[in-house]
Amino acid sequence: MKLDDLAVNLGAYGLHLRGVLNLSREELKSLQIDVDGVVSIALVGNIGSSYWSEFSQSDEYQDGKPDPLDRWSRRIAEQVAETFGARPVYPFEGPPYHPFLQWAKRAEALNQSPMGLMIHPDYGLWHSYRFGLLFSSMQQPDTPGISVESPCLSCDGQPCLHSCPVDA
């Protein structure tokens, strides 16, 4: 499987391949994932409003039932997983919950903002992770999470703290 093909497929839904990590057998066991040979997870999410045009036209968005974004994410993840021979996992499914934030910090240059949210050096707070795809055939090395200084440290006046206090 080529990561470029996966990225193109995800792009049709306004989603992005956010990083690929190798998972150890211990990690898989602690997550109660009992699949032989699964060694990698591809993290999938949005950047800004990248998925909005697709999601806002979906049945899930329009049907008035609870959790439309989670249900849409699940449907898309299952379609992509079937196409690429993967198993989807979700940040909103549990307990036990999968450690998406830990995986994300291994995959990308993220820091915790003063509000507690993960901030990306290019996307700010406007990003999220909708699902992961577990692969048994992908022997892809980790995409290194590059350590960078938090943009919050150099932000003049940190206006987000005044608009949305940490303890709000």
DSSP secondary structure code for residue 149 in this structure: -
Would you place residue 58 in the very low, low, confident or very high pLDDT band (cuts 50, 70, 90)? very high
Residues in Cβ contact with 156 at an 8 Å cutoff, skipping those fewer than 6 apart:
none
Query: Cα dist. 1→4, 5, 118, 141, 158 in Å?
Result: 9, 8, 30, 14, 43
* Closest CA relative to residue 92, chosen from 109, 127, 67, 111: 67
What is the percent of the chain with per-residue pLDDT over 90, rounded to a whole number? 42
Mean pLDDT, the chain, rounded, equals 84
Residue-wise pLDDT for 10-36, tens only, equals: 999 999 999 998 887 777 777 776 666
When pLDDT is averaged across residues 47-58 and rounded to a whole number, the result is 95
Other C-beta atoms lying within 10 Å of the C-beta of residue 41? 29
**Rounded average pLDDT over 46-68:** 96
pLDDT band, residue 49 (cuts 50/70/90)? very high
- With 80 as the cut, is the pLDDT of residue 77 above it? yes
pLDDT digits (tens, 9 = 90+) for 117-148: 888 888 888 899 999 999 886 655 545 555 66
Confidence (pLDDT) at 83: 96
State the Cα–Cα distance between residues 35 and 13, nearest whole angstrom. 27
Contacts of 28-31 with CB under 8 Å at 24 or more apart are 31/96, 31/98, 31/99
pLDDT of residue 89: 93
3-state secondary structure of 88: strand
DSSP letter at 131? Answer: E
